[in-house]
Amino acid sequence: MKNRLSRIIKPSTGHAVMLAVDHGYFMGPTHKLEEPRKTIEPLLPYADAIMCTRGVLRTSVDPKTSVPIVLRVSGGASVIGESLTNETTTTSFKDAIRLNVAAVALSIFVGTQHEHQTLRNLGHLVNLGEDYGIPVLAVTAVGKELEKRDARYLGLACRIAAELGAHFVKTYFCEDFGKVVKGCPVPLVVAGGPKLETELDAFELAHDAIADGAIGVDMGRNIWQSEHPVAMITSIREIVHNGSSVREAQQAFEEAKKTKTPILTKNPVR
């Protein structure tokens, strides 16, 4: 369990830059993720882990890659359906083991009509994870109800996930995020969320999240929907692993845009 977690959360910094490419399981061919392999391949060398479904893993990720996989194992609802909260587990634990993943992930929808089933899904997944030594990432999803992203709600959802045995939790950044961190006894990873207006906004999100106690970010659209996705992920790495300021990250981004293969100011964490 600790070995797999250390592949995702790098022991040298205690932080992680995860690349989220699991959007298609409920959003379909998302903008700039229409052809997953083309989006993923140039970003793989700069990701500490990639979060995806088994379908994308099998069709669009080179099996020779050493980048750890956090496998999305929940689903059952779509963006055009009545509710995004009506999820169940869609991938067997046996298949997760067969795919040699570093962790499995599923969403919980606290405070919705499907709260009970998604929390029960989490408990069942944690039981299997303990049996086989595979960490579980709980995602505190909010469906289409974005107004729920406040410290009181996210603090409740994160604490419940930790109490049910999640080994780390993915949640949203919010005002008073430090309170969410303080109330959650397992590591927190912050979601990038919808595409922000500017790269600077994404850098500020990553910087503030780390400053308030998150151990990393799991960004998708704010990286691969950028006009310069490789420059974007390398600049996010500067913040998460090297403690760069927002201004330094912006400078790194501008420099990285000029080169075909950006080089980090410090050696990549592996």
Tens of pLDDT, residues 106-121: 999 999 999 999 999 9
CA-to-CA dists, residue 119 to 22, 104, 136, 235, angstroms? 20, 15, 13, 35
Mean pLDDT (the chain) is 94
Is pLDDT above 60 for 267?
Answer: no
Higher pLDDT, 265 or 78: 78
Would you put residue 166 in left (φ > 0), alpha (ψ -120 to 50) or beta?
Answer: beta
With residue 125 as reference, give the H or E element that holds it: helix 115-132
Is pLDDT above 90 for 270?
Answer: no
Average pLDDT over residues 144-160: 86
Tens of pLDDT, residues 25-71: 999 999 999 999 999 999 999 999 999 999 999 999 999 999 999 99
Structure tokens at 38: 């083309």
**pLDDT at residue 260, as a whole number:** 66
Q: Report residue 180's pLDDT band, with 50, 70 and 90 as the boundaries.
A: very high
Average pLDDT over residues 144-149: 68
CA torsion, points 4, 32, 243, 137, in degrees to nearest 10? -30
**pLDDT at residue 254, as a whole number:** 94
Whose CA is closest to 173, among 211, 221, 220, 135? 211
Tens of pLDDT, residues 187-216: 999 999 889 999 999 999 999 999 999 999
The residues annotated as belonging to the active site are: 170
DSSP assignment of 9-57: SBTTTTBEEEEE--THHHH-S-TT-SSHHHHHTTTGGG-SEEEE-HHHH
**pLDDT at residue 145, as a whole number:** 65
Tens of pLDDT, residues 58-90: 999 999 999 999 999 999 999 999 899 999 999
Burial class (CB in 10 A: 0-12, 13-18, 19+), 194: exposed
